[in-house]
Amino acid sequence: MPSTTNHTVPGLEKPAEIRVDRWGICHIRAETRHDVFFTQGFNAARDRLWQLDIWRKRGLGRMAGDFGPGFLAQDRAARLFLYRGDMDAEWAAYGTPEARSITEAFTAGINAYIILTQHNPMLLPPEFAAMGTKPEQWEPRDVVRIRSHGLVRNVLSEAARSRVMARANLETDLARRSIEPPHDITIPEGFDPAIIPDDVLDVFKLATAAPDFSPARLAATLDQAWRWTKVTDTGDVTLDGSNNWSIAGSRTASGRPILASDPHRAHALPSLRSIVHLTGPGIDVIGAGEPALPGISIGHNGHAAFSLTILPMDQEDMYVYETHPDDPLKYRYGSGWENMTIIEEFVAVRGCEDQIVTLAFTRHGPVVARTTGHAFAVRSVWSEPGASAYFASLAYLGVRSVGEFAKALSHWSTPSVNQVYADVSGDIGWFAAGKSPVRPNWDGLLPVPGDGRYEWKGFHTFAELPQTINPASGFVATANEMNLPEGFPYETVKLGFEWAERSRSRQIHAMLEAQGQHSVADTMALQTDDTSIPAKRLGKLIEGFNTEAASMLQSWDHRLTRESPAAALQEVWWSKHLKQKLLDIVAPDPAVRALMVPGDVETLLGLLEHPDARVPDVRTLLATTLEAAYTDCAARMGDDPSKWAWGRLHHGAFPHPLHRVADLPGVAALPKGGSGSTVMAATYRLSDFRVTHGASFRMAVDVGNWDASMAINAPGQSGDPRSPHYADLAPLWAAGEYVPMLYSRAAVDAATEQVIRLIP
């Protein structure tokens, strides 16, 4: 029998319950629509309160009040990127009249749990006691005003490209970031790339970074507050991606569609996403969403299934201003000068008096840097109504047709996405969705003068964006690659020119095209496919090499399994030796070389396959770096290659965010296959091969046979270290395994291990 807990909760309209199954997935049942989202908020706080509290305080710029002066600079940075527009317009922008009421119910549920903890502090996760802090209550607008958790692009790349151009040229920059479709980058009139300072986006990076809890930062005095203004690990959005596909019943073994989703983000503890099942009047949805948001963004509603990946639209720009020689708070615009808008705000700082921070804005956005005679601002769709990341998914929770889904997506803003769809009637589809600025006279690849010559002229309509419904191929699939259809007017509808490498996409399409009787098991196998397309390409280049190292790679199936010795050699060769040498050749200037990380896979492999004067002797380069890698592997794993294994180096781990300052459990190293170029995305850092980005959540939906759907969420469903579901899914995730994502009432009841009853 499942255990039972009862809570009396003011604000609830009727009794509700949370049923926790054996894998930690929470199934919420409520009798009113208000109570569905109230209970979702209550449950999110019950399972993820520390995560939610940090999410809110980081996003609103309220960390210093809890953690001291070391967080003051980050608080100021975060406040620059809050939504500061009209809230009525904000709530109206999401395509559903319930946006505000749902959020009010959701935050009321969070607050109800916080109030319970005030009466019973034992309900608080141990992080609060460890850090001497308390959770704060939420206002509904907090959910949507915070923008800096979302993914937009490409201002980081604009700045990097400018700095490369100032020291080298655009050809060199292609080794940092390739351009697709074919396009000649145009330098905006009046823009000098050399004017961009190295630290131009330090404030932007700080605003978007996860908080770093180090002993020195927590011990900082007010005099030391501005030491923490730089971020070494920015969580570069170029590493964030996803795979998804939708397969028509004509290509499946069951005759029913199958939909797949595995979004890739930075790995963290707790997981970025939580699987939840919401049942009540007019709603019965299950899937994954971010715990700080109501509803779900990836899943199904018992009729239609939906999934998203990043489609890398260019949704932000850097503006460069000439400032007045006598007043740096004035900037040139048109034939005259405009005043920056200056806002002063008080920031609470633990152990100190409240501090005043000054925020400056131009007509385009927040000022992030200044030099003598110039200022720099970021314009982003974040400043537009309706740009809270993933929040627009509320509009499609109840869709019953592909047409209704498309209508809901017409309100989607951020992040820009590939949405795929499948339903019980057999329809499948792919839609590009997102707010894409109209840039009439530039391409968005470099900063522009802020004097009025380069202005957004509104946004492209949803009808201008590409889509496909029921294609003849019988499937749709995306992996962040350049997937604009043939004939799309990309030079006029400039959605973006920076896409993911094609390795994942090539493997997905090859496998789906080869399978005429696809199954859910096939989808799970494809989501965890560790075949390396770069390894195959490099294998062709070393044909005829007669060394022990080359022999290992020539007799190998190019799969980066955890057990494979050849996989270890391949990845050490490519990531630690060959790629680094190529970048050294392409960018001999150390200042330029530092900007090339992590390096563009397509450009660098292309340089080996079609060398130019920069690489006159490819075979010698391949041979010398391969032998260096072989020696490197021997030093790391011993002289016997049969005992090497990729999983001895490559590993997933989930350290607690407070591991340097508090004794709280994390998840130790788990051997992991794959790489950033495999469908089972597992991007790793060079220093120790630890996986930093990839799919912590995966879902394979059997459309119409919902209880046969499968999912995984690592390291676990709960963020409370005391919970049995804190890290129980991590070993399954590392092994490429799944758990059932149950939907029917009978199946959920049979798997329930805990019932939490909420009583008004």
Task: Name the segment(s) of the chain with CATH classification 1.10.1400.10.
Answer: 532-651
Per-residue tokens: 25: 């997935």
Select from 695, 664, 667 the least CA-distant residue to 679: 695
3-state secondary structure labels for all residues of 452-507: CCCCCCCECCHHHCCEEECCCCCEEEECCCCCCCCCCCCCCCCCCCCCCCCHHHHH
Number of C-beta neighbours around residue 686 at 10 A: 12
Predicted local confidence at residue 41, as pLDDT:
98
Better-scored residue on pLDDT, 238 or 584: 584
34-52 pLDDT tens trace = 999 999 999 999 999 999 9
Residue 389 near residue 381, CB atoms below 8 Å:
no
Per-residue tokens: 441: 């006279």
Q: Does residue 614 surpass a pLDDT of 50?
A: yes
Q: Does residue 236 surpass a pLDDT of 60?
A: no
Residue 464 near residue 458, CB atoms below 8 Å:
no
Predicted local confidence at residue 717, as pLDDT:
97
Residue 1 near residue 744, CB atoms below 8 Å:
no
> What is the Cα–Cα distance from 260 to 514, expressed in whole angstroms?
17
Residue 396: band (very low, low, confident or very high) from pLDDT cuts 50, 70, 90: very high
Quick one: what percent of the chain has pLDDT higher than 70? 99
Predicted local confidence at residue 237, as pLDDT:
47
3-state secondary structure labels for all residues of 560-577: CCCCCHHHHHHHHHHHHH
Q: Does residue 212 surpass a pLDDT of 70?
A: yes
88-138 pLDDT tens trace = 999 999 999 999 999 999 999 999 999 999 999 999 999 999 999 999 999
Q: What is the mean pLDDT of residues 598-626?
A: 95
Angle, vertex CA 195, rays to CA 191 and CA 199, nearest 5: 130
Predicted local confidence at residue 147, as pLDDT:
95
Select from 193, 456, 192 the least CA-distant residue to 317: 456
Pick among 2.30.120.10, 3.40.50.2300, 2.60.120.560, 3.40.640.10: CATH of 155-235+315-383: 2.30.120.10
522-575 pLDDT tens trace = 999 999 999 999 999 999 999 999 999 999 999 999 999 999 999 999 999 999
Phi, psi at residue 103, to the nearest 5°? Answer: -70, -35
150-203 pLDDT tens trace = 888 999 999 999 999 999 999 999 999 999 999 999 999 999 999 999 999 999
Task: Name the segment(s) of the chain with CATH classification 2.30.120.10.
Answer: 155-235+315-383
Averaged confidence pLDDT in the chain:
96
Q: What's the alpha-carbon Rg for the chain, to the nearest Å?
A: 26
Say how far residue 574 (Cα) sits from the centre of its chain. Answer: 25
Q: Does residue 235 surpass a pLDDT of 70?
A: no
Residue 13: band (very low, low, confident or very high) from pLDDT cuts 50, 70, 90: very high
Q: Does residue 234 surpass a pLDDT of 60?
A: no
Number of C-beta neighbours around residue 735 at 10 A: 15
Q: Give the CATH superfamily of 532-651.
A: Aminohydrolase, alpha-helical knob region (1.10.1400.10)
Predicted local confidence at residue 230, as pLDDT:
86
Number of C-beta neighbours around residue 232 at 10 A: 7
- Whole-model pTM: value is 0.96
Q: What is the mean pLDDT of residues 390-413?
A: 98
CA 218 to each of CA 63, 68, 434: distance values in angstroms, whole numbers, following the listed order: 11, 6, 39
Per-residue tokens: 424: 């019980």
Quick one: what percent of the chain has pLDDT higher than 90? 96
Q: Does residue 224 surpass a pLDDT of 80?
A: yes
694-746 pLDDT tens trace = 998 999 999 999 999 999 999 999 999 999 999 999 999 999 999 999 999 99
What angle separates helix 601-609 from helix 533-541, to the nearest 10 degrees? Answer: 20
> What is the Cα–Cα distance from 311 to 414, expressed in whole angstroms?
10
> What is the Cα–Cα distance from 187 to 331, expressed in whole angstroms?
22
Q: Which residues on adjacent β-strands are paired with residue 320?
A: 376, 449
HSE value, Cβ hemisphere, 13 Å, CA-based, for 482: 16
Angle, vertex CA 667, rays to CA 4 and CA 75, nearest 5: 90
Q: Does residue 291 surpass a pLDDT of 90?
A: yes
Q: Amino acid identity of 317?
A: D
Number of C-beta neighbours around residue 454 at 10 A: 23
**Number of continuous H segments (helices) and E segments (strands) in the chain:** 24, 29
HSE value, Cβ hemisphere, 13 Å, CA-based, for 363: 16
Phi, psi at residue 279, to the nearest 5°? Answer: -130, 130
480-515 pLDDT tens trace = 999 999 999 999 999 999 999 999 999 999 999 999
Sheet holding 16-21, edge to edge: 3-8, 752-759, 16-21, 26-29, 274-280, 283-289, 298-300, 304-310, 417-423, 428-433, 467-469
